[in-house]
Amino acid sequence: MGYSRAVVKGDWCFVSGTTGYVDGVMPEGIADQARGCFATIGRALAEGGFSFADVVRVQYTVTDAALVDDLVPALGEVFADVRPAATMVVAGLIKPEMLVEIDVTAFKG
């Protein structure tokens, strides 16, 4: 499969959908999975010369709307001050242990 964790085009950085694996292990709770997502996304942004402060768009895919209340605090840890445009979708993910997938778009201009 053709795939990049992130692609930088000029002032833009597009980070692919990212799940919460930490050192090859998936945390059990959705908040810890989100923190794992953000750790991976943060490294990808930094490698491209960006940071979370540059994020203008985020999409969250969650497997169950009932988990959102547990997820929100972890999202606020990263985006409370950034406040990107956001979409949250409820959908299945490719492995049953995955509860959330996050992708972001960042812009420097």
For residue 3, the model assigns a pLDDT of 87
Backbone angles phi, psi at 67, to 5 degrees: -90, -10
Look at the chain and count its residues: 109
For residue 56, the model assigns a pLDDT of 98
Q: Which CATH number fits domain 6-107: 3.30.1330.40, 3.40.50.300, 3.30.750.24, 3.40.50.10490?
A: 3.30.1330.40
- Three-state SS annotation for the chain: CCCCCEEEECCEEEEEEECCCECCECCCCHHHHHHHHHHHHHHHHHHCCCCHHHEEEEEEEECCHHHHHHHHHHHHHHHCCCCCEEEEEECCCCCCCCCEEEEEEEECC
User: Per residue in 11-38, pLDDT tens?
Assistant: 999 999 999 999 999 999 999 999 999 9
pTM of the model: 0.95
Question: Which position has the token pair 């053709």?
Answer: 2
Nearest to 102 by CA among 86, 77, 94: 86
Label the pairing between strands 12-18 and 6-9: antiparallel
User: Per residue in 45-104, pLDDT tens?
Assistant: 999 999 999 999 999 999 999 999 999 999 999 999 999 999 999 999 999 999 999 999
